[in-house]
Chain A
């Protein structure tokens, strides 16, 4: 019927037209050059509340004072939504000039799309010296640096000293055997030994990744972002070790439905309210726990010890794993982007960062501002560590990282075994 054909034709034309329109996506980046040389920098970060948000607003204002022709427009985006929004923005040419990045495979993907500015030569030398080499490694892709770190977040076991005392544990465990011992004592005392936010998968996966750091040699771990090698036996060993440990039932009841940090019933909440004795987390946990205690102040008896050593692994003693928060510039951003980043990497602003976020600044000169007692042993262990790896799921990139996270949860839920976990890596690689 003519009408039907007309309709179909009309629809096709509109669709085609839209496709063409979409194809011609303009390349206007975030920054604009207004009249009189005025520039606006758009910046995306993920501190949606409190001191963190205030910090960035202050930094933007101060930078504007020092450089009157540049305005920094700060937008805060909820952490969970950041990736999706950034990806859409990257694809449409609407990228923010400065955006939060955590390095590893995820950043490498955006770099591969040619959307991140190479900062190797644009970072001030004194910034490079002050931060040291280690944090930059997270942002290095193919030998070039693509971001400036703002905080280092190494991981380890946070614990409640009061609960340990209650259970009669004399000293911090240094080996897995001692940890299992401590778990037993806590169980006898009726305290949930380890809080685990397995609902979000990554806290459970972190147990696996730490076991992997203990079992695998340094070279295997450090090459993950660029040339991953999964044939090494150490991956299976790590999975076996985790499985063995999990069979002693050290985690809180219902760990599969406990979130990591989402408010009241999260694993952090359990520790904050003395319902569990330990949790394996990164340096941000101090601030998170502080928000969930009855008086919303930092937990006074919070302590920290490094992940215990495991016998027979190829990993060096004292090696750590951690995350690095930092910021990158988009390819089209104006020069004021790296100027801003250099600006906030100064000792003064890093000290402010440490206070606002209750975390460890990347600038080693600013670490004096860290006052929390549980962060002190953390910083010590970090500076003494022979090498610090990035969180393995960040290093491996979203695809494989996500698959591993899922696999660990399955194993802990009793629906998978170590071999299946290692196999899932190959499956994921096929899909992405």
Chain B
């Protein structure tokens, strides 16, 4: 039974879409299920819609009638944001930072997880707990010593100064999710590979990486979202307006003494889009990825 399970997980890991769905075909569910789903979706989406629609109003409208429809529909906020060069600059910077963070976290995370998952050595438990402990520290306090370090590395006011710490902070989650997943790759495969003369590194390179792709995509998405939404770190490290990432760009709409709420709503609606799109592109892989992880 155990072996069947392990192999079935491994197969799921390999198959691009997971084999479980295709045999019986996709069918319409019962109305009850859709009703429940509808309720859940409504609850989830309504506040988001509020933010999006709020962007179509003026500040005065929001004050006088908080829960009303835009009257009239004010597209000026959205067009202003889309037309401002700061928005697109920030979009590019955010993308660079997020992609850099994701690649770094994934590559380093996979390597380290592989060690913890499949090598036998005494410090293994400590290494695992070491990384897990990183989850428990709030970054708001770490910022001053962190800034000092980044400054001494000469990375202040550069995107590299954001990417490196973000990779470090993404490592705990990455490793916690990847370790059980990498473990799920059956030992038989490893043994078979070594019979064929492959070393542990060779096994890693040629088999583990392709097999763990769903897990890799999962942690990649989580790292991407973490970087995309990060505010504190860019705030302190970046001084040059041309390097600002999207969350920092909100400043453009908060002046010295006041906040242009409507425009902020429009801006944040537009900045959520890439993260949502990224997620929906890879959504199926996530479920595949976490399957291995939760097996534990």
Contact = CB atoms under 8 A, between A and B. Distances in A.
Contacts of B253: 48-49
A263 B260 contact: yes
A48 B256 contact: yes
Contacts of B236: 84-85, 88
Interface in A13-30: 18, 21-22, 24-26
A371 interface: no
B200 interface: no
Given A88-B236, A263-B264, A1 B257 contact: no
A139 B140 CA distance: 30
B148 A22 contact: yes
Contacts of A275: 63-64
Interface stretch (B20-28, B103-111, B120-128): B120-128
Contacts of B240: 75
A197 B59 CA distance: 17
B63 A269 contact: yes
A272 interface: yes
Interface residues of A, number: 54
A340 B62 CA distance: 42
B76 to A, nearest CB: 11
Interface string A196-224: 00000000000000000000000000000
A26 B60 CA distance: 49
B60 A79 contact: no
A287 B126 contact: no
B148 A292 contact: no
B113 to A, nearest CB: 16
Contact of A79 (B235, B257, B261): B257
Contact of B251 (A3, A52, A77, A93): A77
A85 B264 CA distance: 22
B151 interface: yes
Interface in B133-180: 143-145, 147-149, 151-152, 156
Nearest to B250: A78
B239 interface: yes
A265 interface: yes
Nearest to A325: B256
A335 to B, nearest CB: 23
A1 B255 contact: no
A357 B257 CA distance: 10
A287 B63 contact: no
A249 interface: no
A294 B60 contact: yes
Give chain B's interface residue range (CB within 8 Å of chain A): 35 or more
B150 to A, nearest CB: 9
Given A25-B151, A46-B256, A261-B258, A88 B127 contact: no
Given A48-B251, A92-B147, A268 B258 contact: yes
B144 A263 contact: no
A264 B145 contact: no
Contact of B148 (A79, A92, A293): A92
B60 A292 contact: yes
A429 interface: no
Contacts of B235: 81, 84-85
A187 B13 CA distance: 68
A424 interface: no
Interface in B59-114: 59-60, 62-64, 66
Contacts of B143: 84, 88
A50 interface: yes
B258 A88 contact: no
A4 B149 contact: no
B137 to A, nearest CB: 14
A48 B255 contact: yes
B259 interface: yes
A288 interface: yes
Contacts of A284: 256-257
Given A25-B151, A84-B235, 15 more contacts: A4-B123, A22-B152, A48-B256, A49-B254, A76-B251, A81-B235, A85-B235, A263-B259, A263-B260, A263-B264, A264-B261, A275-B63, A291-B258, A292-B63, A293-B60
16 contacts: A1-B122, A26-B152, A46-B256, A48-B251, A48-B252, A76-B251, A81-B251, A84-B236, A91-B148, A92-B147, A262-B261, A264-B262, A273-B64, A284-B256, A291-B260, A293-B60
